[in-house]
Chain A
Amino acid sequence: MIEVENLSIDRKTFRINGVSFSIVENGINGIGGLNGSGKTTVLKAIYGFLKPSGGAVYIDGKNISGMKPREIASMVSVVHQEQPTPMNFTVRDVVQLSGYSRGQGGPGLEECLEACGIDHLSDREFSTLSGGEKRIVMFAAAMYQNTRYILLDEPMTFLDVDKAVRVMSIIRRFREAGKTVVIVSHDINFLYNECDSVILMRSGSVLYQGDPRKVINEKTLYEVFNVKFGRYESAEGVRFYPYP
């Protein structure tokens, strides 16, 4: 279980105001809100990259402030929106090196490359891949890292349609494997239709959290995004759309 308790973060131009929430186990947890609402900042605090000025993050009951990066990496994997560039290693080695902290069991290297549809890229140098391909490699790395918790920062942004579909299928596979996934996303329809639980943020505070079917509606969306939304039912589920 990941628990965020009264978390505060002070940055030069921005502040997280003592937020508290719990992450739902074995499911997809979405964090939504406008740019600058604090979504990514909270995510960075969950994996210990940002140190809180107050409050704490607990993973499986343990305060992460006392944990070494390696210990956190044995429990939490992260796929960032921007991929690290200074890696002149092959795709296979990038994925394999991400498994440094994994214990016994878990999917094999070839299985992860295949599941993410990048087995044909395994001998390519990581730095020569497109942005979308790099992101999928990092999904394979997270799969190989085989942690209980997987954090994803805007995983679908700037992806071509085919890669977005593949990423969505990988995320569903994580859920089927019993992983707990936390996704930062500004896509309301994704949050509503794919997530088991959502946290909606605005200006460094959590406004709403819970089951997206109960939490997300035209009224709450207006409060969070300051934009009027309409709603309609489609074959793919409920859709929200902004209107002037």
Chain B
Amino acid sequence: MSAVTLPLLAAAGESGRSVLSPSGVEIVFLLVAVVVLGAAILCVTSRHLVHAALYLVVALGGLAVEYLLLTAEFIAWVQVLIYLGSVVVLLLFGLMLTRAPIGPSPDADSRNRPLALVVALAAAATLVTLVVDAFRTTWIDLSTPHGRSDALGESLFRTWVLPFEALSVLLLAALVGAIVISRARRADSEEGQG
């Protein structure tokens, strides 16, 4: 009861940890967090469309580093392989196939940009206040790694095997759907010609 009502420093003092004396992992985490946030902000504000995709690479790669710092190494490598390897390449293909201009495009942002800024800032203020207030006395114990591939694979193929199979069916359906959508135009033009 007293730990809840006590202020932050007193509660942290019980366990010998404090926000004001961060550990090395925390410092690295905060530095990478600054890089991730900066790249994300550049990604949503850049007027060069291809640059926006490359800033997305920086942001997602920085997130992989954060996963490594949280000892979730398997997730980190999956993030690098799937997000950086395929999703960003798909996005770049999408930009190229919709004839994105090489230079800056002045119409990258819509007219409701101020409204979007207000909504995003309000959401950020509310959620940051809530999260900081809720978890200010909570610490993650990183002394034992908690994302090793063997433990994760065992859990994935024992407990979560049914959702895993459902997900593979969903991926197959998405693949078939993407092919069908891409082919629809060709069938139409053939009908139009014939």
Q: Is the pairing of A and B real? A: no
